[in-house]
Amino acid sequence: MKIVNHQLQPGWYKPSPHHSGALNAPSLLVMHYTVSGAGAKGVADYFVSPAAKASAHIVVGRDGDIRQVVPFNVKAWHAGKSIWRGKPNCNDYSIGIEIDNWGRLMRTAEGQVRSATGKVVDPGLAVELTHKNEIMPALWEVYGETQMKALVDVTRLILAAYPSIAEIVGHDDIAPLRKSDPGPAFPMGRFTSLVAGRDDAPVLKRKVIASRLNARGGPGVQFDKLGVFVGGTMVEVVYDSPGPWAQVKGALEGGAEVLAWVSDQFLA
Q: For residue range 65-110, what is the model confidence (pLDDT) as tens digits?
A: 999 999 999 999 999 999 999 999 999 999 999 999 999 999 999 9
φ/ψ of 252, rounded to 5, equals: -75, 170
What pLDDT shows up at residue 240?
A: 62
pLDDT digits (tens, 9 = 90+) for 16-40: 999 999 999 999 999 999 999 999 9
Q: What is the pLDDT of residue 220?
A: 82
The set of long-range contacts for 235-240, using a CB threshold of 8 Å and a minimum separation of 24, is 235/205, 235/206, 235/207, 235/208, 235/262, 235/267, 236/203, 236/204, 236/205, 237/203, 237/204, 237/205, 237/206, 237/267, 238/127, 238/142, 239/127, 239/128, 239/129, 239/142, 240/204, 240/264
pLDDT at 241: 57
Q: Which CATH superfamily is domain 2-102+142-195 in?
A: Peptidoglycan recognition protein-like (3.40.80.10)
SS3 of residue 251 by DSSP: strand
Local structure of 4: helix, strand or coil: strand
Residues 248, 238 contacting (CB under 8 angstroms): yes
Task: For the domain made up of 205-266, give the CATH fold.
Answer: SH3 type barrels. (2.30.30)
What are the residue ranges of helices labelled H in the chain? 39-48, 145-161, 171-174, 188-195
CATH 3.40.80.10 boundaries in the chain: 2-102+142-195
CATH 2.30.30.40 residue ranges of the chain are 205-266
Q: What local confidence, expressed as pLDDT, does residue 156 receive? A: 96
Please write the tens of the pLDDT for every residue from 211-220: 999 999 877 8
> Angle 233-237-241 (CA atoms, 0-180°, nearest 5)?
125
The one-letter code for the residue type at 188 is: M
Nearest to 173 by CA among 101, 92, 98, 83: 83
The pLDDT tens digits for 114-148 are 999 999 999 889 988 888 888 888 999 999 889 99
Phi, psi of 61 (to 5 degrees): -80, 165
pTM check: above 0.85: no
